[in-house]
Amino acid sequence: MGTTAQERTDRLNDKIFAAGLGATDLTILYLGEKLGLFRAIAAAGSATPAELAKATGTAGRYCREWLEAAAATEFLEVDDPAAAPDERRFRIPAGGEALLADPADPSFQGYVPMLFTGCIVMLPAIVEAFRTGGGVPWSQYGPDVIDGQEAQNRNLYLSSLATEWLPKIPDVHARLSEPGARVADVACGTGWSSIAIAEAYPGAEVHGFDLDEYSIAKARGYAEERGLAGRVRFEVRDAADPSLSGAFDLVLILEALHDMGDPVAVLRATRSLAGDRGMVVVMDEKTEETFTPNAPDLERLFYGFSLLACLPAALADGPVGTGTVMRPDTLRAYARDAGFSSVGILPIDTEMFRFYRLG
């Protein structure tokens, strides 16, 4: 028996209600990360509203409401729900500290509310872009977006990029292990991919290029802090600069090609950077092969980020609006138009990303 019209309406209504709950949860997570509330609870083991307010320099009444809201959605546990409101003691569930309160842990998820909330505040500009067909420049997105992206990339790259993923490409790993290897990290952002490579391959010299001055300033500071300023160089510079031609053994574009307004031109530039002997590797989202309604959750997440940031930023940068959902056939077409003769999918298994080798 088929689904009735009323059942379809009820299901849609449930999804809309669930979306509202998700927005509520996002608010709780954002406040907890932005104000350091989760970290203060983790440091103390547990907290009452007054204790949390004192530890974070915030107002007790707001802390009480936030603590109750976080417990209502099970981000926190409460020792005695029947206690007086200001005497209730809250704690992070066992095993949840890494997810909510430890930015150095690879499983940390505090970047999620930062990214989404930072994008959501751009909705008025995105509405206007819908009407005009224009874009929203990446430079207009605030520090929450850049800092949220950085928090995600930092742990991901330090824990996996050069210690797990690149070693699975034998000739790349071998070349980077030799003294004097040179790497171009195109659209490097705040630089954690470049830093991860330099730390794993002490004989390599890494050059990070990005057009965002805020990101490059942060990247330079991190390289200095980690004692890598002599081997890792960050520049606000277009990677298509002819003076860089043929200078690199490995050219990387990590989760950035879909954001570019002219991806064919960017890939053409990577060919020039690599010259005759260099290698080009692109990492981008692990999308479905083809469009499918009722898509998996990960695909839905990609579409969300595409609408909120990647597509508007790409259209502000150039004529091609790829968006986050760049399928393998789309990348193959870009690579062919850029002059590459082959595109291979590398045997690197991750939940979020797919690796391509261009030749």
Sign of the Cα pseudo-torsion (70, 74, 76, 78, in order) = positive
Q: Is the pLDDT of residue 1 over 70?
A: no
What is the arithmetic mean of pLDDT over 220-249? 93
pLDDT band at 101 (very low <50, low <70, confident <90, very high): very high
Q: Is the pLDDT of residue 157 over 80?
A: yes
- Of all residues in the chain, what percent carry a pLDDT higher than 70? 100
pLDDT at site 15: 94
What is the arithmetic mean of pLDDT over 111-129? 94
At 84-98, the pLDDT tens digits run 999 999 999 999 999
3-class DSSP string for 248-293: CCEEEEECCHHHCCCHHHHHHHHHHHHCCCCEEEEEEECCCCCCCC
| 319 and 307 Cβ atoms separated by less than 8 Å | no
Q: What are phi and psi of 119, to 5 degrees?
A: -80, -40
Asked if CATH classification 3.50.30.30 holds for the domain at 117-358, the reply, yes or no, is no
Question: pTM, whole model, 2 decimals?
Answer: 0.90
Q: Is the pLDDT of residue 142 over 90?
A: no
pLDDT at site 264: 97
pLDDT at site 104: 87
At 248-264, the pLDDT tens digits run 999 999 999 999 999 99
Report d(CA 203, CA 231) in Å as an integer: 9
Assign residue 7 a region (left: φ > 0; alpha: ψ between -120 and 50; beta: otherwise): alpha
Q: Is the pLDDT of residue 26 over 70?
A: yes
| Stretch(es) of the chain classified as CATH 3.40.50.150 | 117-358
| Stretch(es) of the chain classified as CATH 1.10.10.10 | 5-102
What is the arithmetic mean of pLDDT over 194-209? 97
Q: Is the pLDDT of residue 27 over 90?
A: yes
3-state DSSP call for residue 244? helix
How many other CB atoms sit within 10 Å of the CB of residue 195? 28
Beta bridge partners of 355: 283
Q: Which fold has domain 5-102?
A: Arc Repressor Mutant, subunit A (1.10.10)
